Structure 1
Amino acid sequence: MVQRAFATVKLDLHAVSVFHTDRGSEFKNEGIDEILEAHGIERSLSQKGNPYDNAVAETTFKTLKTEWINGRRFESLKQLSLELFDYINWYNNLRIHGSLGYLSPVAYRLSSLKKVV
């Protein structure tokens, strides 16, 4: 699956210099190592035992897993891509966040910009 995901990337992978991950077992993978080496991409890992090193990514993936994926199966990468696009659009434009004054991220950003101007 990793090889298929890399194969769909539309940019020149030689332009990518760093691939950052946590120390999760899914990233201890010879296939990933071979692809990174073939394209001259350096691997970057979060610090061992430091959950705050990658907090934004961890929170994002936790939200995706609990709110969106939650046991779903996708028939193709195309279906996954389309549904992920829809979820991100909903999350940014419609889902309210208590930490943002019960506004969506886009509404919060727009209200913050109005205060500055």
Structure 2
Amino acid sequence: RQYTSHAMAEILRDNGITQSMSRKGNCWDNAVVERVFATLKGEWLYSKYPTRQEAAADIEQFVNWYNHRRLHSANGLVPPALREVQVA
């Protein structure tokens, strides 16, 4: 329920994020982020981190790598950030 609250919608709006939710029982809106998390857990995170800051820094590196360097077969082997530039 927290994701459908007015407070959450306001936070997203204030940060320029478009909230997207499909009807109940339809998982397609969540598929992309689930793929990202599966890659993060399966290809990137190999150990526990001594501090929260070290984990956050490593995850930030992952997001940069995932968006700018990792080749995605669904994008014709182009990273998402580059694909966005090509489509725009």
Above 0.5 in TM-score? yes
Structure 1 residue runs without a partner (length 5+): 1-16, 21-39, 42-46
CA-to-aligned-CA distance 1:43-75 (integer Å, 9 cap, x gap): xxxx6xx58264333222211110111x31101
Change (3 A) 1:104 1:57: closer
Structure 1-normalised TM-score? 0.50
TM-score, length-normalised on structure 2? Answer: 0.64
Measure how far apart 1:112 and its partner are.
0.6
Greater radius of gyration (CA): 1
Give me the whole-angstrom Cα distance separating, in 2, the residues matched to 1:102 and 1:58. 20
State the 4+ residue runs in structure 1 displaced beyond 6 angstroms.
none
Higher strand proportion, which one? 1
What is the Cα-based RMSD across aligned positions, in Å? 2.6
**Structure 2 portions without partners, runs of 5+:** 9-23
Q: What's the offset of the Cα at 1:80?
A: 0.2
